[in-house]
Amino acid sequence: IAGITQAPTSQILAAGRRMTLRCTQDMRHNAMYWYRQDLGLGLRLIHYSNTAGTTGKGEVPDGYSVSRANTDDFPLTLASAVPSQTSVYFCASSVGTSGGDTQYFGPGTRLTVL
Amino acid sequence: QKEVEQDPGPLSVPEGAIVSLNCTYSNSAFQYFMWYRQYSRKGPELLMYTYSSGNKEDGRFTAQVDKSSKYISLFIRDSQPSDSATYLCAISGNTPLVFGKGTRLSVIA
Protein backbone atom coordinates (compact mmCIF):
# COMPACT_ATOMS: atom_id res chain seq x y z
CA ILE A 1 0.00 0.00 0.00
CA ALA A 2 1.56 3.28 -1.11
CA GLY A 3 -0.68 5.62 0.89
CA ILE A 4 -0.38 9.01 -0.72
CA THR A 5 1.79 9.75 -3.72
CA GLN A 6 2.63 13.19 -5.01
CA ALA A 7 4.21 14.24 -8.28
CA PRO A 8 6.50 15.81 -9.17
CA THR A 9 8.95 15.53 -6.27
CA SER A 10 10.36 18.92 -7.13
CA GLN A 11 9.94 21.48 -9.88
CA ILE A 12 11.46 24.77 -10.97
CA LEU A 13 8.94 26.88 -12.79
CA ALA A 14 9.06 30.21 -14.61
CA ALA A 15 6.68 32.86 -13.35
CA GLY A 16 3.47 33.02 -15.35
CA ARG A 17 3.48 29.34 -16.23
CA ARG A 18 0.64 26.99 -15.41
CA MET A 19 1.43 24.02 -13.16
CA THR A 20 -0.55 21.09 -11.80
CA LEU A 21 0.62 19.20 -8.74
CA ARG A 22 -0.70 15.67 -8.64
CA CYS A 23 -1.91 13.78 -5.58
CA THR A 24 -3.26 10.23 -5.46
CA GLN A 25 -4.30 8.14 -2.46
CA ASP A 26 -5.08 4.43 -2.36
CA MET A 27 -6.73 4.32 1.08
CA ARG A 28 -10.25 5.16 -0.16
CA HIS A 29 -10.33 8.14 2.18
CA ASN A 30 -13.23 10.55 1.77
CA ALA A 31 -11.42 13.76 2.65
CA MET A 32 -8.33 15.25 1.00
CA TYR A 33 -6.33 18.40 1.64
CA TRP A 34 -3.64 20.60 0.14
CA TYR A 35 -1.23 22.49 2.38
CA ARG A 36 1.75 24.69 1.76
CA GLN A 37 4.62 24.81 4.25
CA ASP A 38 6.85 27.84 4.49
CA LEU A 39 9.64 28.62 6.94
CA GLY A 40 8.27 30.61 9.84
CA LEU A 41 4.66 30.21 8.73
CA GLY A 42 4.08 26.51 9.27
CA LEU A 43 1.47 24.44 7.46
CA ARG A 44 -1.34 26.43 5.89
CA LEU A 45 -4.43 24.90 4.33
CA ILE A 46 -4.99 25.88 0.69
CA HIS A 47 -8.04 23.83 -0.34
CA TYR A 48 -9.82 20.76 0.88
CA SER A 49 -12.40 18.25 -0.29
CA ASN A 50 -14.75 16.45 2.10
CA THR A 51 -15.82 13.94 -0.54
CA ALA A 52 -15.57 13.36 -4.27
CA GLY A 53 -17.31 16.13 -6.21
CA THR A 54 -16.99 18.78 -3.48
CA THR A 55 -14.22 21.24 -2.64
CA GLY A 56 -13.73 24.08 -0.19
CA LYS A 57 -11.34 26.97 0.42
CA GLY A 58 -8.81 26.95 3.19
CA GLU A 59 -6.74 29.71 4.72
CA VAL A 60 -4.71 30.66 1.60
CA PRO A 61 -6.71 29.71 -1.55
CA ASP A 62 -5.86 32.66 -3.81
CA GLY A 63 -3.96 31.68 -6.96
CA TYR A 64 -4.82 27.98 -6.60
CA SER A 65 -7.63 25.77 -7.81
CA VAL A 66 -8.53 22.15 -7.17
CA SER A 67 -10.88 19.50 -8.47
CA ARG A 68 -12.07 16.18 -7.06
CA ALA A 69 -13.47 14.11 -9.91
CA ASN A 70 -13.04 10.82 -8.03
CA THR A 71 -12.11 9.51 -4.58
CA ASP A 72 -8.44 8.89 -5.28
CA ASP A 73 -7.16 12.01 -7.06
CA PHE A 74 -6.95 15.61 -5.90
CA PRO A 75 -4.85 17.78 -8.24
CA LEU A 76 -3.79 21.31 -7.32
CA THR A 77 -3.40 23.84 -10.16
CA LEU A 78 -1.50 27.09 -10.20
CA ALA A 79 -3.00 28.95 -13.16
CA SER A 80 -0.23 31.54 -13.45
CA ALA A 81 2.60 30.92 -11.01
CA VAL A 82 4.17 33.78 -9.04
CA PRO A 83 7.39 33.75 -6.96
CA SER A 84 5.40 33.95 -3.69
CA GLN A 85 4.07 30.47 -4.49
CA THR A 86 7.56 29.05 -3.97
CA SER A 87 6.96 26.55 -1.18
CA VAL A 88 6.74 22.89 -0.22
CA TYR A 89 3.30 21.53 -0.99
CA PHE A 90 1.80 18.62 0.94
CA CYS A 91 -1.27 16.62 0.07
CA ALA A 92 -3.08 14.79 2.86
CA SER A 93 -6.12 12.59 3.30
CA SER A 94 -8.35 11.38 6.12
CA VAL A 95 -11.11 8.82 6.46
CA GLY A 96 -13.71 11.44 7.25
CA THR A 97 -14.08 15.07 8.17
CA SER A 98 -14.34 14.75 11.92
CA GLY A 99 -11.82 16.91 13.70
CA GLY A 100 -10.44 13.76 15.30
CA ASP A 101 -9.68 11.96 12.05
CA THR A 102 -5.99 11.41 11.47
CA GLN A 103 -4.57 13.11 8.41
CA TYR A 104 -2.05 11.11 6.39
CA PHE A 105 0.45 13.16 4.43
CA GLY A 106 2.27 12.59 1.19
CA PRO A 107 6.01 13.18 0.77
CA GLY A 108 5.59 16.69 -0.59
CA THR A 109 6.43 18.63 -3.75
CA ARG A 110 9.13 21.29 -3.61
CA LEU A 111 8.17 24.08 -5.99
CA THR A 112 10.37 27.00 -6.94
CA VAL A 113 8.90 29.82 -9.02
CA LEU A 114 11.47 32.10 -10.61
CA GLN B 1 -4.37 36.30 17.90
CA LYS B 2 -3.56 33.14 15.97
CA GLU B 3 -5.73 30.16 16.85
CA VAL B 4 -2.69 28.05 17.71
CA GLU B 5 0.64 29.38 18.95
CA GLN B 6 3.80 27.29 19.05
CA ASP B 7 7.37 28.36 19.73
CA PRO B 8 9.36 27.46 16.58
CA GLY B 9 12.62 26.95 18.47
CA PRO B 10 15.06 25.62 17.42
CA LEU B 11 15.54 23.51 20.54
CA SER B 12 18.79 21.62 21.06
CA VAL B 13 19.20 19.10 23.90
CA PRO B 14 21.72 16.39 24.85
CA GLU B 15 20.83 12.74 24.42
CA GLY B 16 18.89 11.41 27.40
CA ALA B 17 17.31 14.77 28.28
CA ILE B 18 13.62 15.30 28.96
CA VAL B 19 12.08 17.48 26.28
CA SER B 20 8.98 19.63 26.74
CA LEU B 21 7.15 21.00 23.71
CA ASN B 22 4.13 23.26 24.09
CA CYS B 23 1.28 24.95 22.28
CA THR B 24 -1.40 27.37 23.34
CA TYR B 25 -4.72 27.85 21.62
CA SER B 26 -7.53 30.36 21.73
CA ASN B 27 -10.73 28.51 20.80
CA SER B 28 -12.35 26.80 23.78
CA ALA B 29 -14.43 24.65 21.39
CA PHE B 30 -11.33 22.69 20.35
CA GLN B 31 -11.52 19.12 21.60
CA TYR B 32 -9.13 17.10 19.43
CA PHE B 33 -5.44 17.53 20.16
CA MET B 34 -2.68 15.94 18.13
CA TRP B 35 1.06 15.99 17.78
CA TYR B 36 2.64 15.31 14.42
CA ARG B 37 6.33 14.60 13.85
CA GLN B 38 8.05 15.66 10.66
CA TYR B 39 11.50 14.47 9.70
CA SER B 40 13.57 16.56 7.34
CA ARG B 41 12.25 16.54 3.77
CA LYS B 42 9.33 14.24 4.72
CA GLY B 43 5.63 14.71 5.30
CA PRO B 44 4.24 14.99 8.85
CA GLU B 45 3.14 11.79 10.61
CA LEU B 46 0.75 11.48 13.55
CA LEU B 47 2.63 10.84 16.79
CA MET B 48 0.05 11.31 19.56
CA TYR B 49 -3.69 11.93 19.71
CA THR B 50 -5.76 13.07 22.69
CA TYR B 51 -9.46 13.77 22.89
CA SER B 52 -10.56 16.41 25.40
CA SER B 53 -8.50 16.77 28.57
CA GLY B 54 -5.98 14.63 30.34
CA ASN B 55 -2.80 12.74 29.70
CA LYS B 56 -1.85 10.05 27.26
CA GLU B 57 1.35 8.04 27.37
CA ASP B 58 2.98 5.99 24.62
CA GLY B 59 6.43 4.69 25.41
CA ARG B 60 8.76 7.64 25.92
CA PHE B 61 6.12 10.13 24.82
CA THR B 62 3.44 11.78 26.97
CA ALA B 63 0.82 14.20 25.70
CA GLN B 64 -1.00 16.49 28.14
CA VAL B 65 -4.01 18.70 27.58
CA ASP B 66 -5.09 21.43 29.99
CA LYS B 67 -8.32 22.84 28.59
CA SER B 68 -8.75 25.32 31.44
CA SER B 69 -5.49 26.99 30.42
CA LYS B 70 -5.85 26.20 26.69
CA TYR B 71 -2.40 24.65 26.82
CA ILE B 72 -1.09 21.37 25.44
CA SER B 73 2.27 19.72 25.94
CA LEU B 74 4.33 16.87 24.55
CA PHE B 75 7.03 15.37 26.77
CA ILE B 76 9.79 13.15 25.45
CA ARG B 77 11.71 11.14 28.04
CA ASP B 78 15.22 9.77 27.46
CA SER B 79 15.46 11.67 24.19
CA GLN B 80 17.39 10.02 21.36
CA PRO B 81 19.11 11.43 18.27
CA SER B 82 16.38 9.71 16.25
CA ASP B 83 13.89 12.09 17.91
CA SER B 84 15.47 14.99 16.01
CA ALA B 85 12.62 16.35 13.92
CA THR B 86 10.06 19.13 13.77
CA TYR B 87 7.07 18.61 16.06
CA LEU B 88 3.77 20.20 15.10
CA CYS B 89 0.75 20.49 17.34
CA ALA B 90 -2.61 20.23 15.58
CA ILE B 91 -5.93 21.12 17.12
CA SER B 92 -9.52 20.90 15.96
CA GLY B 93 -13.16 21.11 16.91
CA ASN B 94 -15.49 20.18 14.07
CA THR B 95 -13.42 21.99 11.48
CA PRO B 96 -10.22 21.11 9.61
CA LEU B 97 -7.12 20.78 11.74
CA VAL B 98 -5.28 23.96 12.69
CA PHE B 99 -1.54 23.39 12.89
CA GLY B 100 1.03 25.18 14.98
CA LYS B 101 4.13 26.41 13.19
CA GLY B 102 6.19 23.52 14.53
CA THR B 103 9.17 23.31 16.89
CA ARG B 104 12.45 22.06 15.46
CA LEU B 105 14.18 19.70 17.91
CA SER B 106 17.77 18.48 17.73
CA VAL B 107 18.97 15.77 20.10
CA ILE B 108 22.76 15.75 20.26
CA ALA B 109 24.57 12.45 20.91
- pLDDT reported for residue B8: 82
Say whether pLDDT at A5 is over 80.
Answer: yes
Q: How do the residues of chain B divide into helix, strand and coil, expressed in percent and rounded to 5?
A: 5, 55, 40
B52 touches chain A (CB under 8 A): no
- pLDDT reported for residue B14: 97
- Preferred mutation among A95, A102, A104 to probe B, highest tally of B CBs within 10 A: A102
Say whether pLDDT at A40 is over 90.
Answer: no
Q: Which residues of chain A lie closer than 8 angstroms to B31, CB-CB? A: 99-100
Say whether pLDDT at A72 is over 80.
Answer: yes
B32 touches chain A (CB under 8 A): yes
Whole-angstrom distance, CA of residue A42 vs CA of residue B83:
19
The shortest CB-CB distance from B43 to any of A58, A98, A107 is to: A107
Q: Which residues of chain A lie closer than 8 angstroms to B34, CB-CB? A: 102
Query: Considering only alpha carbons, which residue of chain B is nearest residue A10?
Result: B41
- pLDDT reported for residue A1: 58
The shortest CB-CB distance from A102 to any of B46, B51, B102 is to: B46
Contact (Cβ atoms closer than 8 angstroms) between residue A13 and residue A76? no
- List of residues 6+ apart from A32 with CB closer than 8 A: A23, A25, A48, A49, A68, A74, A91, A92, A93
Q: Which ranges of chain B have pLDDT less than 50?
A: none
pLDDT tens per residue across span A92-107: 999 988 878 899 999 9
Whole-angstrom distance, CA of residue B57 vs CA of residue A23:
34
